[in-house]
């Protein structure tokens, strides 16, 4: 990859951050009493993208960003009011800007018709100045030569100190390009001040210490000099003073020390106070000096992190194998061997946890994109909808981030199209005309819980069952519980819409959501109350790489049960066991009757259920809050295991989520408690009904 390609990729990474700031800022601008700094922040995001895009010749992006920037400038100068119609245009402009960045990243042309449509809307806000803006808007490449330029007799010498901070580089700006632009104003002598630059071993990207001292002889005024740095004033330290030797450049071997200005005649600070953003700042010579963050960061390719994670997984397997060999050889009684093994196990666990934390990313990256999905769905249906987001900082494995976009998109559209009533119906039911969809995330018992909830009319189960019967998905005489009726929504091809629209009616919907979430090792559940709304819950593992598991024996097989599902283990007594139906068995535990599932029979490892007295019961609770007691032959150990995909290497096995390699080299299947319990409980429910019907 060439240097230009590297810079271009850095530009797109910075664009992602700027677009995120833009989206967040626009939503804050919709809140009553928002601060003017919010408008400035939005303006800077668009302005920074425009400036960097110009350097790479991305003309469509530059043209659109400039017009967008003009409207934002009118807002911050109070020439325009951020009322709902204006904010709607700005949100659509933000969407187009996002699309243009995505198209540029793929080296493709953006949607020209859509861009022109929004340019017209922006021109409508700009008014009579639009044509003048278009005529005056011209980007001229900056010369790279800092050589001497003819200076008139009226030239003035300025001493300039320029010190970028980390945010300047993060926003895609180039300090050298600013110096080149400064050289266009006159005869410039530039000297790098490296006194504060630490050794390479102590260097931090968050603490750039390089600064430049420039002596500029020019006809330009001090204001014109500062205009070059206009859009980076909030992320640099800039001092501009008249030179002690006016109109006479200093010799190359000399530098000028600029004395701090007194408090009486100190000029107005040039940089925005970082304390407004929650960062400490100090004032030196009348300008703000931003205190750099103590946290250093470095960008690393995800492929490298994945490779490191795979190596850590293999290390865990080798540690398990080593432990197995030591036990077989009878060395476990040796305290030195035991201490060394424990040290290796602890170290491997710490390394593994550290790498997992590197892969963790906040769900905010996904949640932010749902605002656009909601706006488009609301426009398509003509409904008034707002989106509330909770728990955006909840972190999940990086590999899940992009794979969550499609499922959440389906669910948001489904909530707008099917869940929320129209304004007339809501008003008749005593609800606000504007519906609310809540997107939330949190960590729960070692897993990630994501919920999409609406305050609509809930699921019409009578209608759902009728459609299922019409399509042959369920028998008319079948007895179904409310949760089983809700589960029909996840069947392939199920749709309650008879007409085809942009959002629904094509037979592609919640079955896609369920399949994609299951591919991530997760589950989707529904809770609905008629007239009150519907909530879809997604539970996901914290990582797709490892899990804490309980090694159990089922007939002649060793399997792994995720520890997050385990509530307790016990050996049953006769008084706590009860029969129900033909083959059903229940455990009485703390006043609750819990169905017992013979795991070996479920997997077909044996035909007849084993006597309960011969095994162990493991009480589990699934993601859908179902409880069951799994009957297994024995419990061996609890340990971390490395997850290996079974579907990619073999195929799907009901009741099994993945596989792992044990210390002795054998493969063990990882049980899916949700699927085991759900299938067994449903079978038990049907058997009990049949048994009762037959007397």
Please say if the pLDDT value at position 509 is more than 70: no
Tell whether 683 is covered by a domain. Answer: yes
User: Using CA atoms, how far apart are residues 304 and 661, in angstroms rounded to an integer?
Assistant: 23
Tell me whether strands 533-541 and 627-632 are parallel, antiparallel or unpaired: unpaired
Contact between residue 171 and residue 196 where contact means Cβ atoms under 8 Å apart: no
Mean pLDDT of 66-94: 89
170 and 232 co-located in one domain? yes
571 and 663 co-located in one domain? yes
Please say if the pLDDT value at position 179 is more than 50: yes
* Signed CA dihedral, 307, 312, 317, 319: sign only: positive
Tell whether 637 is covered by a domain. Answer: yes
Q: How is residue 679 annotated by DSSP?
A: H
176 and 96 co-located in one domain? no
Tell whether 368 is covered by a domain. Answer: yes
Name which residue leads in pLDDT, 34 or 164: 164
346 and 451 co-located in one domain? no
User: Using CA atoms, how far apart are residues 95 and 434, in angstroms rounded to an integer?
Assistant: 22
- At residue 198 the predicted structure's pLDDT band, cuts being 50, 70 and 90, is confident
Tell whether 571 is covered by a domain. Answer: yes
Long-range Cβ pairs for the range 377-382 (8 Å, 24+): 377/412, 377/413, 377/416, 377/417, 377/503, 378/416, 380/501, 380/502, 380/503, 381/416, 381/417, 381/503, 382/422
The tally of domains found in the chain comes to 5
- At residue 681 the predicted structure's pLDDT band, cuts being 50, 70 and 90, is low
User: Using CA atoms, how far apart are residues 24 and 354, in angstroms rounded to an integer?
Assistant: 30
- Which domain CATH number covers 509? 3.30.565.10
Question: What are the pLDDT digits (tens) for 379-421?
Answer: 888 899 999 999 988 888 887 887 888 889 889 988 998 889 9
HSE-CB for 494 with a 13 A CA cutoff? 24
372 and 316 co-located in one domain? no
Q: Which structural domain range is residue 108 located in? A: 3-136
CB contact burial 299-316 (16+ within 10 A = b; e otherwise):
eeeeeebeebbeebbebb
460 and 581 co-located in one domain? no
Which of 541, 571, 586 corresponds to the end of one domain?
541
- At residue 294 the predicted structure's pLDDT band, cuts being 50, 70 and 90, is very low
Question: What are the pLDDT digits (tens) for 661-675?
Answer: 887 778 889 988 888
The interaxial angle of helices 59-76 and 129-136, nearest 10 deg, is 130
Tokens read off for 374: 């909601």
Q: Where are the alpha helices (DSSP H) in 174-271?
A: 175-183, 222-228
Mean pLDDT of 40-48: 88
Question: What are the pLDDT digits (tens) for 227-269?
Answer: 888 878 888 888 988 875 554 444 443 433 333 333 344 334 3
Which of 515, 541, 567 corresponds to the end of one domain?
541
Which of 290, 310, 337 corresponds to the end of one domain?
290
CB contact burial 230-257 (16+ within 10 A = b; e otherwise):
ebbbbbbbbbbbebeeebebbeeeeebe
625 and 673 co-located in one domain? yes
Mean pLDDT of 335-339: 83
Q: Where are the alpha helices (DSSP H) in 212-301?
A: 222-228
555 and 681 co-located in one domain? yes
Tell whether 182 is covered by a domain. Answer: yes
Please say if the pLDDT value at position 43 is more than 50: yes
This prediction has a pTM of 0.59
72 and 112 co-located in one domain? yes
User: Using CA atoms, how far apart are residues 30 and 33, in angstroms rounded to an integer?
Assistant: 9
Tell whether 145 is covered by a domain. Answer: no
Q: How is residue 644 annotated by DSSP?
A: B
Tell whether 144 is covered by a domain. Answer: no
Complete DSSP assignment for 245-262: STT-PPPTT---PPPPPP
Tell whether 146 is covered by a domain. Answer: no
Name which residue leads in pLDDT, 54 or 374: 374
The interaxial angle of helices 335-359 and 302-329, nearest 10 deg, is 160
237 and 328 co-located in one domain? no
Question: What are the pLDDT digits (tens) for 625-647?
Answer: 788 999 999 998 888 787 877 77
Question: What are the pLDDT digits (tens) for 111-160?
Answer: 888 899 989 999 998 885 544 444 444 545 444 454 544 444 467 888 99
379 and 528 co-located in one domain? yes
The fraction of the chain above a pLDDT of 70, given in percent, is 81
187 and 243 co-located in one domain? yes
**What is the length of the chain?**
695
């Amino acid at each position: 990859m060439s240097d230009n390609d590297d810079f271009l990729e850095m530009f797109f990474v910075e664009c992602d951050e700027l677009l995120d700031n833009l989206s967040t800022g626009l939503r804050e601008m919709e809140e009553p009493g928002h601060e003017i700094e919010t408008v400035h922040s939005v303006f800077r995001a668009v302005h920074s993208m425009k400036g960097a895009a110009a350097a790479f010749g991305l003309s469509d992006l530059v043209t659109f960003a400039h017009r967008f920037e003009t409207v934002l400038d009118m807002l911050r100068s109070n020439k325009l009011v951020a009322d709902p119609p204006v904010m709607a245009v700005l949100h659509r402009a933000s969407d187009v800007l996002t699309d243009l960045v995505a198209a540029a990243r793929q080296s493709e042309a953006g949607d020209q018709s859509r861009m022109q449509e929004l340019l017209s809307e922006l021109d409508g806000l700009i008014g009579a100045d639009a044509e003048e803006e278009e005529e005056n808007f011209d980007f001229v490449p900056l010369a790279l030569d800092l050589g001497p330029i003819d200076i008139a007799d009226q030239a003035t010498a300025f001493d300039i100190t320029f010190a970028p901070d980390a945010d300047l580089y993060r926003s895609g700006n180039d300090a050298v390009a600013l110096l080149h632009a400064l050289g266009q104003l006159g005869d410039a002598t530039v000297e790098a001040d490296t006194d504060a630059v630490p050794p390479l071993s102590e260097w931090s990207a968050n603490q750039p210490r390089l600064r430049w001292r420039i002596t500029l002889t020019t006809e330009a005024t001090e204001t014109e000099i500062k205009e070059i740095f206009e859009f980076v004033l909030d992320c640099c330290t800039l001092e501009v003073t008249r030179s002690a030797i006016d109109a006479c450049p200093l010799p190359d071997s000399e530098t000028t020390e600029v004395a701090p200005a007194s408090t009486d005649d100190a000029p107005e600070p040039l940089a925005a106070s970082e304390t407004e953003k929650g960062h400490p700042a100090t004032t030196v010579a009348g300008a703000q000096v931003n205190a750099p963050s103590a946290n250093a960061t470095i960008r690393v390719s995800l492929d490298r992190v994945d490779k490191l994670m795979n190596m850590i997984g293999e290390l865990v397997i080798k540690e398990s194998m080593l432990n197995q060999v030591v036990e077989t050889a009878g060395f476990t009684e040796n305290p030195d061997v035991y201490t060394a093994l424990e040290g290796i196990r602890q170290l491997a666990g710490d390394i593994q946890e550290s790498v997992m934390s590197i892969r963790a990313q906040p769900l905010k990256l996904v949640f932010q994109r749902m605002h656009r999905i909601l706006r488009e769905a609301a426009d398509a249906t003509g409904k008034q909808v707002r989106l509330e987001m909770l728990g955006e900082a909840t972190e999940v494995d990086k590999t899940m981030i992009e794979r969550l976009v499609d499922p959440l998109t389906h669910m948001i559209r489904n909530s707008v199209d099917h869940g929320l009533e129209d304004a007339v119906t809501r008003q008749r039911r005593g609800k606000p005309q504007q519906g609310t969809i809540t997107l939330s995330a949190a960590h729960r018992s070692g897993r990630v819980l994501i919920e999409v909830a609406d305050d609509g009319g809930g699921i019409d189960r009578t209608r759902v069952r009728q459609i299922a019967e019409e399509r042959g998905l369920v028998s008319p005489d079948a007895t179904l519980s409310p949760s089983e009726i809700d589960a029909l929504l996840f069947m392939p091809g199920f749709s309650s819409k008879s007409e085809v629209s942009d959002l629904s009616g094509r037979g592609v919907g919640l079955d896609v959501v369920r399949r994609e979430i299951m591919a991530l090792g997760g589950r989707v559940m529904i809770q609905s109350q008629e007239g009150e709304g519907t909530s879809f819950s997604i539970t996901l593992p914290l990582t797709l790489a490892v899990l804490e598991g309980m090694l159990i024996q089922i007939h002649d097989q060793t399997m792994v049960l995720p520890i997050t599902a385990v509530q307790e283990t016990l050996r049953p007594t006769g008084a706590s066991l009860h029969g129900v139906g033909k083959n059903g068995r229940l455990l009485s535990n703390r006043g609750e009757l819990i169905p017992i599932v013979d795991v070996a029979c479920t997997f077909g490892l044996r035909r007849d259920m084993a006597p309960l007295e011969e095994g162990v019961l493991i009480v589990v609770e699934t993601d859908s809050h179902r409880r069951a007691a799994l009957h297994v032959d024995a419990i061996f150990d609890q340990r971390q295991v490395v997850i290996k995909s079974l579907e990619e290497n073999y195929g799907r096995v009901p009741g099994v989520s993945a596989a792992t390699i044990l210390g002795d080299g054998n493969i063990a299947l990882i049980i899916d408690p949700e699927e085991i319990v759900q299938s067994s409980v449903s079978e038990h429910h049907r058997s009990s009904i049949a048994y009762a019907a037959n007397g």
